[in-house]
Chains A and B, each alone.
Chain A
Amino acid sequence: EVQLVETGGGLVQPGGSLRLSCAVSGFTFSTYEMNWVRQAPGKGLEWVSYISSTSNTIYYADSVRGRFIISRDNAKNSMFLQLNSLRAEDTAVYYCARVRASVPGDYWGQGTLVTVSS
């Protein structure tokens, strides 16, 4: 069974940092691209970042470029999102999702909530 589990969310002050993790099981992680998507409270979905299977190719949304860093550890079946210089508008549930044959999200985690507030 394919499973994706996000952890690392929480309450952080503006300007602070947080590291999200996405642990996967049930498939050969090293052969799949992955991405992060977020959803602010009561709002729609926003794509955040993409990473190729070998980490050679990475993309970011304009809203997070220069502040967030995506990475992965294929040996540990895990993907990460380092969130720096956090702003109130980064408050959201962050989902990790698997990319299958360039299609963005056939499997999703349950999400982890990041709240940026003083």
Chain B
Amino acid sequence: DTQMTQSPSTLSASVGDRVTITCRASQSISIGLAWYQQKPGKAPKFLIYKASSLESGVPSRFSGSGSGTEFTLTITSLQPDDFATYYCQQYNSFPWTFGQGTKVEIK
């Protein structure tokens, strides 16, 4: 199985900051990676697929990059609505697996 490791687990930032979250795969997953945003009590929201493709309707301040085993989610100019937990998920091979999540909190 492919293990996904996110870092950091928690990130404290201010509105307007640039934020980067890293997701590492235990083996190559090509570009089979998605990113989600989740707020308390809500279902995850789909942000990015194929490592770097932005889902329709998602603000352009979100971007993804990487391939193989190392990936990043970047939020340029963090907005109040962006404080949430972010998850990566590999879908290159079954079983699909998630990272443990990165909580972005207000500094």
Contact = CB atoms under 8 A, between A and B. Distances in A.
Interface residues of B, number: 22
A104 B34 contact: yes
A1 interface: no
Contact of B95 (A45, A62, A106): A62
B43 A103 contact: no
A59 B94 contact: yes
B43 A104 contact: no
A104 B44 contact: no
B101 A104 contact: no
Interface string B35-67: 010100001111001100001000000000000
Given A45-B101, A111-B43, A103 B91 contact: yes
Interface string B66-107: 000000000000000000000101010011111111000000
Given A105-B34, A105-B46, A106-B46, A44 B100 contact: yes
A50 interface: yes
Given A44-B101, A45-B101, A102 B95 contact: no
13 contacts: A44-B98, A44-B101, A45-B101, A46-B98, A47-B96, A59-B95, A103-B91, A104-B91, A105-B34, A105-B36, A105-B44, A105-B89, A109-B43
Interface of B: 1, 34, 36, 38, 43-46, 49-50, 55, 87, 89, 91, 94-101
Given A103-B91, A105-B46, 16 more contacts: A44-B100, A45-B38, A45-B87, A45-B101, A47-B89, A47-B95, A47-B96, A59-B95, A62-B95, A95-B44, A102-B91, A104-B34, A104-B89, A106-B55, A108-B45, A110-B43
